[in-house]
């Protein structure tokens, strides 16, 4: 029996997004206004799965995700189904340990992993398929400047600013 991955599109203050879920949890949360291209990308990423558009079944999840996007300081208890190499999953789990309103840099993460090459960490972060909930936006350059973000530097700046405001309350 083929795995079923349900997905739905939503609209947030940072633009259109798609959430895809397996039976275990979220496998993707990505910003995109190109619905067809993103759905094709999901089919390529999960070639053995049957993808089903399921807005009604994911309505509660979508509501929670919109809340987390609007206020990334909100605790998100949604289950995740992290799929990547063991190294990528390790990096993604480390990202979840970065406190709200704080940032780290690629080199610091690499050092925690026992590596001196931050490029490996950068590559793992670039492959993160779960925006905001796996907070790769909290990783910045060593000099404190904001570097690239899979879903746009503008979104990264907004997420960091929202977290900063939330911690100042």
Tokens of 116: 């001196």
Q: Which of 11, 129, 45, 149 is nearest to 80 (CA)?
A: 129
CA distance 76 to 138: 16
Angle, in degrees to the nearest 10, between helices 86-96 and 118-126: 90
* Rg (alpha carbons) of the chain, rounded to whole number: 16
Tell me the Ramachandran region of residue 25: left when phi exceeds 0, alpha when psi lies from -120 to 50, beta otherwise: left
The candidate with the shortest Cα–Cα distance to 139, out of 115, 110, 116, 114, is 110
CA 94 to chain centre: 13
Q: Which residues are catalytic?
A: 136
143-165 burial, b at 16+ Cβ within 10 Å, e below that, comes to eeeeeebbbeeebbebbbebbee
């Amino acid at each position: 029996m083929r795995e079923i991955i349900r997905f739905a599109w939503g609209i947030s203050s940072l633009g259109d997004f798609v959430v895809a879920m397996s039976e275990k949890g979220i496998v993707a949360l990505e910003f995109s206004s190109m619905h067809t291209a993103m759905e094709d990308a999901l089919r390529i990423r999960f070639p053995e799965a049957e993808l089903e558009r399921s807005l009604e079944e994911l309505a509660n999840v979508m509501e929670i995700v919109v809340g987390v996007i609007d206020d990334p300081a909100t605790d998100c208890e949604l289950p995740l189904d992290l799929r990547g190499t063991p190294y990528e999953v390790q990096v993604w789990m480390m990202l979840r340990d970065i406190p709200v309103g704080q940032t780290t840099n690629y080199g610091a993460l690499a050092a925690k992993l026992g590596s001196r090459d931050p490029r490996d960490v950068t590559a793992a972060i670039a492959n993160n398929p779960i925006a905001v909930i796996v907070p790769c936006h909290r990783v910045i350059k060593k000099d404190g400047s904001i570097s690239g973000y899979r879903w746009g530097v503008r979104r990264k700046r907004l997420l960091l600013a929202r977290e900063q405001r939330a911690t100042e309350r």
